Structure formats: C-alpha cells, structure tokens
Amino acid sequence: METSNATPPTLSIRDLRVWFELRRWGFGHVGDVRAVDGISFEIRPGEAAAVVGESGCGKSSLMKTILGLYKPRTGSVYFSGEDIHAQGRKSIHAYRANVGYVQQDPFAALPAFMNVWQILEEPLIIAGGHNKANRQDRIRQVLEEVKIHPIEDFLPKYPHMLSGGQLQRIVIARAMILKPRVIIADEPVSMLDASVRVEILRLLRGLQQSHNLSFIYITHDLSTVKYFSEYIFVMYAGKLVEKAPIGRMLRNSSHPYTQALLSATSDPEAMNARVYKEVPSGEPPSLVNPPPGCRFHPRCSKCIHGLCDVQDPPEIHLTPQHQVACWLYSQR
Amino acid sequence: MTNQPLLEISDLVMHFRTSQGPVQAVDHVSFRLNPQRAVVILGESGCGKSSLAKAILRMLPNNIGAYSGKVFLNGTDVMSLGDEEFRRSVRWVQMSLVPQAAMNALNPVIRVGHQVAEPFMFHNSAQRKQAMELVKQMFHYVGVPADFISRYPFELSGGMRQRVALAMALVTSPSLVILDEPTSALDLLTQSNIMNVLKRNKAELGTSYILITHDVATSSELADDIAVMYAGQIVETGDAEAFFGQPLHPYSKMLMASVPRLRTDVEPDFISGQPPSLISPPSGCRFAARCPSRFDKCTLEPPSAIKEWRTVKCWLYQ
C-alpha cells in the first residue's frame, strides 16, 4: 500500500490509538485498556481489506473508531484527505453518509418494530435532501441491488418474518442506501448458515466491485477472506502484526501468529481427524497491561529471549506491500 | 472393534406441540455408533440436530408431542427405562452432554470446581474431598490451571469455560459424550486447542463422541463417521473418509461445495432457497424443492439405499 498508486486513498488511518480509561469508583485514573495501539493503513477506491483477529484483539474498537463512534486518543482517521474529527460533529455527520456499516448479527441489527420500508427510509430522511418520490425510487433500487424480490412483498414485512439470509440482505441494503464510498462489514456472515454464507459474500463482493467501494471486512475466518479481499491485515492485541496482499499472505505468511492462524484453519478433509494441530498455548494478553516487547512473545515458539520480550518489534518491509512486525526478520 | 455398537438408534421420533401444529424436529432418525468412534451430525440451523441430542439424552421440553423409537446403549434398550432409572444409570453415567454455548451453561454463583465435582459426587456417592482430587486431575487433563478450581465462571475466559464444561462431561468417565456445537463460539486457536483435547481423550480413554455442528471444516477434525441431517431427517450416513472424498446425497454435495477452502482454489457455491418448515414439511423428499437433480419420483418418500456401508436417502441411488 506504500506504492505510489495514482489514486489517493479513500480512507487513511494514521497511528491510531484508541484507549479506554479505567476508573475506580467512577473517578481516579487506574489505567487504560489499549484496544487499538498504533495502527496505520490506507485503503483506495475499489480495494477490499480484511482485518483478521481473534475476539478481544481490538478489531471492533478499530472499526467503531473508523465509523466515527469512538474518538481516538491519538492519531486520526482521514477520509478523502480530511480528518473526520477535525470540525467536530458537523464533519462527522457528513462523513457518516459516506460509510456504510454491515453488522454482525442480522437478527439483532434491525429494529423489530419497523418494517423493511421504514428501516430503509429512515437513513434517507435523516440525511435529508430527498422527497418522497426520490426515497421510493432509491429504496426500490437498493433492494434490487441486494437481490430481494419480489420487492413489493418485502416492503411491508417486519424483521421476524424474514430468514437470516434475507435479514442480512436488508442490513446490506441499509448500509448501501446513502451511496457510501466505504463499507465496513463486521463478520457479516458468521451468524448465517454455511449454504447462505457464500451467497452473501458474493453479493457483497459484487456490490463492492460494481460501485468501486472501499471495503473493510472484519473477520476471524481466514477461509472466506480469499474470496473477498485484496489485502489481509492481521491484528493481535491491539496491533497489526502483518499486512500483505492476499495471495502472498497465504503462501508466504511471516509472523508466527499469522502462521498459527493459518495452520489452525482446517479444510474439510478426513485426514484432519488423525493428526494433532500445533497450536500456541495460552490466551491473548490483557490489554490493560500488555506484555513488554512483542505482544505475542509469551505464546511464540520462536521467541528470542532478551529481544522479543524487551523491545517492541520494528515494522519490516519484506516487499513494498508486505509488512511484518517481528524481530525474526530484522536482520535482512 | 467389537460387533456390538455402542449406540444404536432406530426410528427415533421427537415432535414438539405448537399452536400451529406439531414441529417434526426429529423424524424417524436411525444411525449407529461403534465404540471409540466419533460421529458428526452435520446440518444447518433448524434442521433438528440439537433436538436429536436432547432426544438421545431424554432431556425433553414441556411441549413434547410425540417421542418414540428405540435407543440401544451398550445393548440395553434405554428407552424402556423409567425416568428415574434413566437419570440414575444412563444420563451422565454412560453418556453426558457438553451443551451448546457451554460457556453460558455454567452456574454463575457456584465455584467451577464444585460444579465439576457435583455429578461425580452424586453418581459415585463420593465425598467432596475425593471428588476434588479427581476434578484437579480432570482440569489438568483438559488444560485448565489447577488454581482455577475455586474461581467463579465469570472469572474465566470463554475457552476456559468451555474446557470446564468439557471436564464436567468427562468427570464420570462416560463412554459417550454428546458435544453440541462445542467450539462454534470460540476463537480459532482456542478451537484447535479444544479439538486437540477431544482427540487425545478419544485416543487415550476411548470415549466416543456425537459431535453436533454446522461447521463442516471443523467437524473434519474429529469425524470418523458422518451423518448429514436435513429438515429433521438423516439423509446420508457414511465413513468420513468416503464422505469427504465423495458425498452422495445432492444436499451433502451442495453443502460440501459451499465450504470455502483455504488451500485449494475451488470457487464455493451456495444452495438457493430455504429449508422447509418442520411444521408441515413437504411430502416426499424434503430437499426436492432445492435439488438440482430432482425428477418425478421425488414426490414420494425416498427409501434409504445402502451403498458400500453408506446409506443415502435419495431416489437417485435406487
């Protein structure tokens, strides 16, 4: 992503830190939860990037900061070159029309008391600038794009009348309705059945390509990433440990944590039942008191004592597009 | 391997009463499981796979409609036992359950060590001191640090709670453990760690498993046999090797094709349409409406065809 690509990035994140203050009895500072700790990346129009990490690694905090829901402690989110927090609430309001958000759980993401029509009309009313006929046209258009048909049958339906796959399509329609330039999808298929997952992923990929959207796909499932994005960012305990284009990541993963994730992902083959997997023991560290040095070192089998457990690993460029934060590669 | 199967289920039926009519959650299910084997029940949500677990363990809800069939465990017909007898001599003595979302299944106000000890104290009429010794061993075995014994569930992470639930299922050394989506709420690395524990347990203690899951890729970690469930019925059973190599039933074929794979470049596919309602399922083959290879005969109930130790409930194999 550091290559001198002609198109400027849609979204640029620079040294973002999102810390949550811990207070005792409501006052008095006792520490910070460092959910996101120094993350930078850029996404250009038409690119999709997957952020992969386990629960508690800070990927949701990262996403919510990009959506403008949390204010970063330091660092900024730039959209089309402008800091989204620079002009206070007004700039955030304008920015929000440009980012769509696809929630993880379609069963909980839609209000139970609104029908499909009301759900999709509300963002248009809030954003303003549409009369009733306009809104009607846009709703029909977006429902066609997410392949809900017959449209007329669905408009008066309430969420409980729809299946998981249909609900997720409505969630996607709601994210798309203001014609955003960025879509953030938080595990969009993890709550859906296997047979529907691929259908929804293809729909998202199709929308991303036909509208030239920038896409951030947050997931823990590496096997779906391949079909979906150009880049993978691997996140561990608040930091990005490896960034690479998808093909290179699958062939030449470099960080021990990425390698562990890849080897833990199984393909459906009968031989899996006969072998034990090599998995790093232990659990991700606390984000209040992260271990010094590399945050993965207590679980890492290749840990260099006296280095990995003392100093933060540098970010090393293996190729212009492949970066890894690991001491193993610092001699190159 | 002995000739006698550990578990043999034939014609198991469990229907729920609802105001709209009976829900046919488990509809004439038959399969068998040999000792030291693991069978995976694969199916999508709402196909009745969790109900099947409840039916085998006789954990019946209040709105139970029909409940019949035969369940032979080690050669005895456990369906003919009375409820009290079943509770004393079968449930948790010969077979136990790791419930779905086991991480939320623990009692929040009892220390985890005591929770794990309880089934052992009850079924083996042991003293707490003796039971706690065993709990210590079990915790070590499933990979929970020994000092977690006196902690409460909220002090444990999801993976640790799952291990505790597993320890609770294993503490009475049952010959069969039913695992209902044991790892679906967990992280990838934790998932692999728990699968390693399950594999080791099977190899060392000879425990058999029924693993209920919708996750085809993870299921292959443990599977010796596969049973695919669709709309309350088992549509295909077979040896894992043969099944993953070549599924037979059109539903199994499409299900396998829908799994994204990391290491091969096959574009995954999806199954259009939705499973039928279990309140008034279609007559004939229940998959017919979504099946690409349906023909006239599919309006009739397909028989189970047996082909090289595998069974397929499909007219194509008649």
Q: Are B42 and B219 in contact (CB under 8 A)?
A: yes
Judge whether A75 and A235 are in contact, CB under 8 Å.
no
Per the CB < 8 A criterion, the answer to whether A46 and A10 are in contact is no
Q: Determine the pLDDT at residue A2.
A: 45
Q: What is the pLDDT of residue A1?
A: 45
Predicted local confidence at residue A185, as pLDDT: 92
Q: Which helix (H) or strand (E) holds B306?
A: strand B304-307
**Residues whose CB falls within 8 Å of the CB of residue B137, separated by 6 or more in sequence, listed in order:** none
Q: Is pLDDT at B209 greater than 90 in this prediction?
A: yes
pLDDT for residue B103: 67
Q: Is-contact B148 B156, C-beta < 8 A? A: yes
Q: What is the mean pLDDT of residues B12-24?
A: 90
pLDDT of res. A5: 55
- pLDDT at residue A218 above 50? yes
Determine, for residues B261 and A223 on separate chains, whether the beta-carbon distance falls below 8 Å: yes
The predicted model gives B187-209 an average pLDDT of: 89
Q: Is the pLDDT of residue B98 over 60?
A: yes
Q: What percent of chain A has pLDDT over 70?
A: 98
Q: Position B32: which residue type? A: R
**Residue A89 scores a pLDDT above 80:** no
* Nearest CA-CA distance, residue A222 and chain B, Å: 7
Of B230, B302, B239, nearest to B273 (Cα)? B230
Query: Which residues on neighbouring strands pair with residue A324, listed in sequence order?
Result: A242, A316
Interval A18-71: pLDDT, tens: 998 888 877 788 888 899 999 999 999 999 999 998 877 888 889 989 998 888
For the ranges A76-80, A282-286, B7-11, B253-257, the lowest mean pLDDT is seen at A282-286
Out of A198, A261, A268, the one facing B244 most closely (by C-beta) is: A268
Q: Which residues lie across from B96 on neighbouring strands?
A: B177
Where does chain B have alpha helices with state H? 49-57, 83-89, 112-123, 128-142, 158-170, 188-205, 216-219, 240-245, 250-257
pLDDT 10s digits, A145-166: 998 888 889 999 999 998 888 9
CB-based contact B216 A283, cutoff 8 Å:
no
Query: Helix crossing, B158-170 with B112-123: angle to 10°?
Result: 10
The residue of chain A with its CA nearest to that of B156 is A283
Residue A38 falls in which region: left (phi positive, over 0), alpha (psi -120 to 50) or beta: left
| Cα of B243 to nearest chain A Cα, Å | 8
A322-325 and A239-245 as β-strands: parallel, antiparallel, unpaired? antiparallel
Q: Of the candidates A138, A175, A266, which has an alpha carbon nearest to the alpha carbon of residue B263?
A: A266
Question: What is the average pLDDT across B272-294?
Answer: 88
Q: What is the mean pLDDT of residues A5-28?
A: 85
The residue assigned the tokens 């008095």 is A28
Q: Residue A100: is its pLDDT beyond 90?
A: yes
Q: How far apart are CA B184 and CA B32, in angstroms?
A: 25
Q: Say if B208 is an interface residue toward chain A (CB within 8 Å).
A: no
Q: Does A33 touch chain B (CB under 8 A)?
A: no
Is B292 an 8 Å CB contact of chain A? no
Q: Is the pLDDT of residue B2 over 70?
A: no
> Rounded mean pLDDT of chain A?
88
Whether the per-residue pLDDT at A195 is higher than 90: the answer is: no
Determine contact, residues B163/B194, Cβ cutoff 8 Å. Answer: yes
Chain-chain contact of A227 with B267 (C-beta, under 8 angstroms): yes
- The per-residue pLDDT for A318 is 92
Strand order, beta sheet including A48-52: A99-102, A182-186, A214-219, A48-52, A231-236, A239-245, A322-325, A315-319
Residue A310: how many CA atoms within 13 Å on its side-chain side?
Answer: 4
pLDDT, tens digit (0-9, with 9 covering 90-100), for B37-77:
999 999 888 888 889 999 999 988 888 988 999 999 988 89
Task: For residues B287-302, give the mean pLDDT.
Answer: 89
On whether any CB of chain B is under 8 Å from the CB of A198, the answer is yes
- Region A311-331 average pLDDT: 90
The pTM for the full model equals 0.86
pLDDT tens per residue, range A242-290: 999 998 998 899 999 999 999 888 888 888 888 888 888 888 888 888 8
- How many CB atoms sit inside 10 A of residue A91's CB? 16
Q: Hey, where are the domains in chain B? A: 7-94+174-317
All structural domains of chain A, each given as residue ranges with its CATH number in brackets, are 11-98+178-268+280-329 (3.40.50.300)
Instruction: Report the pLDDT value the prediction gives residue B188, as an integer from 0 to 100.
Output: 85
What's the confidence (pLDDT) of residue B175?
Answer: 92
Cross-chain residue pair A268–B222, CB shorter than 8 Å: no
Report the pLDDT averaged over residues B27-31.
Answer: 89
Contact B195, B221 (CB under 8 A): yes
CATH class of the domain comprising B7-94+174-317: alpha beta
Q: Are A17 and A73 in contact (CB under 8 A)?
A: yes
CA distance A259 to B162: 25
* 220-249 in chain A: CB under 8 A from chain B: 220-224, 226-227
- Which ipTM did the prediction report? 0.82
B259 inside 8 A of chain A by CB: yes
**Confidence class of residue A6 from pLDDT cuts 50, 70 and 90?**
low
How many contiguous H segments (helices) and E segments (strands) does chain B have? 9, 12
CB contact (8 A) between residue A194 and residue B267: no
